[in-house]
Structure 1
Amino acid sequence: MTINTLISFLGKGKADPQTGYRTATYRFDAGFSRRVAFFGMALTEYLKPDRLVLVGTAGSMWDVFFPPGGDDDATLQLMAAVEAGEVTRDMLELPRRKLEQQLGIPVDCLLIPYARDAAEQAEILHLLASIVQPGESLFLDVTHGFRHLPMLALVAARYLSRVVGVKVEQLYYGALEMTTPDGETPVLTLGGLLQMLDWVDALATYDKDGDYGVFAPLLAADGMDEGQTRLLTRAAYFERTSNPVRARETLNSAFSAVEAHVGALGSLFRDTLTKRISWFRRGKRDDWELSLADAYRERGDYLRAATFMYEAFVTRACNQCSDDPTDFELRKKNYASARAQQPEVAKLEYLRNSLAHGVRPRAEQEARTLDDEGRLHTTLKALRNKLFKP
């Protein structure tokens, strides 16, 4: 059973001794609004989570849950500590118990530093990670925290999902500065920011390994036909298994859908994505293979770079003799002939074999090339320029 947890940040409010903290009427939807001093209470009623986690500093408004003036020594002590910015972990047992009794769900109170530097920011992430479990569904409220904390909350959302394995469902913000003339404060959902980060992550993944299949689920969630997104995944599979012909055939079907996509998030990345997967539109098969070799070399994927460059050389040799480049025996024959004319290709063949099989070449020069990434990159680029002169 999935546990739904609301994490709500407490800010530093100004309390009036007679009236308490300022209240606002938060409008969630047409059928739900609540007037409260602390937005997290209204959000708890709206979401009905399985548990609530309150996060705040030593100066946050931990006393917002009590009437002004207090009615016992412990409450007065808490209020004084809030005013002085000296709340301790032990003092948080009081609001925790009160809220558990009031809400009927488990409540945790987490005391965090002010996030003044990288060390304190990292400590906050560690603290948040310590109170959630893999598989939990999280909802984050960033309404009342210090102005810099929403930025940290966004990082925390990504950190917790990647490191702990939680699912961040939504981010909420009660936009007090957008209060309407009739006195209602709109509630904003900021989950789109998390989806934008998913796209940025996908671009980073693609830049690293060339797998544009990572965009398929994002495009589907953004409204693209799932049949077209499956074609994108399939094309990426064919490319990464060194089958550019099948990759081109499949990508040609999906490309127009990507190019025409107008989804809210996909449109932000559409031009970048289409530019990066447009290799299949270049010339003939040897041009596709050479384009892929260049792209993989720049990513540092040297095995694929060497493989596609080698295949481009063989394909070009077949094309120059008007032979079928898909015929294995003809590829073998034409490679032998082209190798006699351009013996430099032997070095490429040795490097490809060494990279594929994990063994050192016999020639000492090739062995030294594989011992240094910079030298390997330079060697592959030099071979490309020698073997594929304009």
Structure 2
Amino acid sequence: MHTLISFLGFAQKGYVETEYDFNGEKFKTKFIGAGLTQILQPQQLLLVGTAGSMWDVLLQDVANDKDITALMDAVEKKAVTEALLQPCLPKMREKFGCEVKFIIIEYARTEAEQISLLQRIADELNENDSISIDVTHSFRHLPMLALVASRFLGKVKNIATRHICYGALNMPDGNPVIELSGMLKMLDWVDALAVYNHNGSYHEFAGLFRREQASEAAECLENAAFYENTNQIHQARGKLDSFHHLVLPDNPLIGLFKPELDKRTGWAKHNDYARRQLENAKLHLDKGDYLRATVLAYEAWLSKMTYAYKGDMANYHDREQAENHFTAKMSAAQKADFDCLNHIRNALAHGTQPGRNNRRVQAALKDSETLRRELSDAVRTIGQWQPD
């Protein structure tokens, strides 16, 4: 079901009939929610206002004299209730051709009132519905809440936002209804950056590129995410290299975020796989994913050895030869660090306990603080290690 949520505010001299332009379609109305209802044709209209909003002006065409008098008095006293509005519902439904509901809210001055507003709107909607939001006549702080409401409803009830509308007066081109839902798309990209910073995956960006008609870029990023998450660094690098050489659509949203994504994929321009693996190890260690952090740190050390050995880092035989070559030349302390990391990796990967004689590994696995410290030391050691 598609629901239009329209906020009703208060104007000292009332609302003046205005001709608005919504994507080339013009309409005249005092209350823009009424005009948008005719254009968007929702199945439900939620009229949201405070106890002092201009309910009497909105309902003057559908209410009888007695009800209007009562409403005018209640508006003046800022004492309008939903019960007082109920007698007007049948005629409102007839007028707009859809289900109509009235919602009285607080002024959303405090955090508690703001949360209450979100919850009240959420209670009127069902899973997988869609909404449009009109913020034209609301208090000036409510559009920010409307944006939060849209995000909140999308996450908790999978509700899609079709439009966020603001009817602007006296602009150079007239009185356009400005579409604000593009801000939601920007927030999706910001979310993707946050997800990347959390788990190092480009997967979230793929869907966004696809939405902007850049399917080839989306495919490159999806494949790169898969290869990198399965530790196939060479293949991931190839996909990212292809991504960097794509001619992307001339799209302002892509143009805004592409430089940030380039920074995060710039490692593919170098052959230093070990550095990328070590960066990912730090990332997963920071968020407490000890298994992935350990595997990546160990693989980073092997990659660093293989590169120094002039072997193919994607070749198992070359990596094994490089490991044998350099571990035989390590100092006792370095060999102990390498073996400790390997034993921690085996214990975490297989869920087995280290041998009784391996007290260092046993100690590392006793609590998160000790394990984090051991792995942090390992990451630092790998970063500093240089082949003899």
Query: Which residue of the partner structure matches residue 254 of structure 1?
Result: 243
TM-score (norm 2): 0.89
Query: Which residue of the partner structure matches residue 384 of structure 1?
Result: 379
One-letter identity of the residue aligned with 2:373: T
Q: Tell me how far 1:359 sits from its aligned partner.
A: 4.5
Query: Which residue of the partner structure matches residue 210 of structure 2?
Result: 220
Q: Alpha carbons of 1:190 and 1:369: their partners in 2 closer, same or farther (altered >3 Å)?
A: same
| Matched-pair contact (CA < 8 Å) for 1:12–1:60 | yes
SS in 2 for 1:9: strand
Query: Which residue of the partner structure matches residue 188 of structure 2?
Result: 198
Q: Tell me how far 1:56 sits from its aligned partner.
A: 1.0
- Map 1:230-245 onto structure 2 (within 5 A): 230-245=219-234
Q: 2:15 aligns with which of 21, 28, 38?
A: 21
Note if 1:156 corresponds to 2:149.
yes
| Matched-pair contact (CA < 8 Å) for 2:234–2:314 | no
Instruction: Give the length in aligned residue pairs.
Output: 378
TM-score (norm 1): 0.89
Deviations 1:291-311 (A, max 9, x none): 433444345443222212211
Q: Tell me how far 1:186 sits from its aligned partner.
A: 1.3
Query: Which residue of the partner structure matches residue 313 of structure 1?
Result: 301
| Matched-pair contact (CA < 8 Å) for 1:222–1:264 | no
Note if 1:349 corresponds to 2:342.
yes
Q: 2:56 aligns with which of 63, 66, 70?
A: 63
One-letter identity of the residue aligned with 2:378: L
Q: Alpha carbons of 1:80 and 1:367: their partners in 2 closer, same or farther (altered >3 Å)?
A: farther
- Map 1:1-390 onto structure 2 (within 5 A): 3-15=1-13, 21-30=15-24, 32-67=25-60, 71-176=64-169, 178-180=170-172, 184-224=174-214, 226-257=215-246, 262-340=250-328, 341=330, 342-343=334-335, 344-362=337-355, 363-389=358-384, 390=386
| Matched-pair contact (CA < 8 Å) for 2:200–2:280 | no
| Matched-pair contact (CA < 8 Å) for 1:53–1:108 | yes
- The alignment yields a C-alpha RMSD, in angstroms, of 2.4
Cα distance in 1 for partners of 2:82, 2:263 equals 53
Q: Alpha carbons of 1:336 and 1:39: their partners in 2 closer, same or farther (altered >3 Å)?
A: same
SS in 1 for 2:6: strand
Q: Which stretch has the larger CA shift, 87-96 or 188-197?
A: 87-96
Cα distance in 2 for partners of 1:286, 1:205 equals 23
Q: Which stretch has the larger CA shift, 100-109 or 364-373?
A: 364-373
One-letter identity of the residue aligned with 1:153: A
Cα distance in 1 for partners of 2:141, 2:361 equals 53
Q: Which stretch has the larger CA shift, 90-99 or 313-322?
A: 313-322
SS in 2 for 1:14: coil
One-letter identity of the residue aligned with 1:366: V
Cα distance in 2 for partners of 1:317, 1:291 equals 17
Cα distance in 2 for partners of 1:100, 1:167 equals 24
Q: Tell me how far 1:88 sits from its aligned partner.
A: 1.0
Q: Alpha carbons of 1:210 and 1:322: their partners in 2 closer, same or farther (altered >3 Å)?
A: closer
Q: Alpha carbons of 1:305 and 1:40: their partners in 2 closer, same or farther (altered >3 Å)?
A: same
One-letter identity of the residue aligned with 2:114: Q
Cα distance in 1 for partners of 2:323, 2:276 equals 18
Q: Which segments of 5 or more consecutive residues in structure 2 lack a partner in the other structure?
A: none
One-letter identity of the residue aligned with 1:204: A
- Quick one: percent identity of the two aligned structures? 36
Q: Tell me how far 1:262 sits from its aligned partner.
A: 4.4
Q: Alpha carbons of 1:13 and 1:330: their partners in 2 closer, same or farther (altered >3 Å)?
A: same
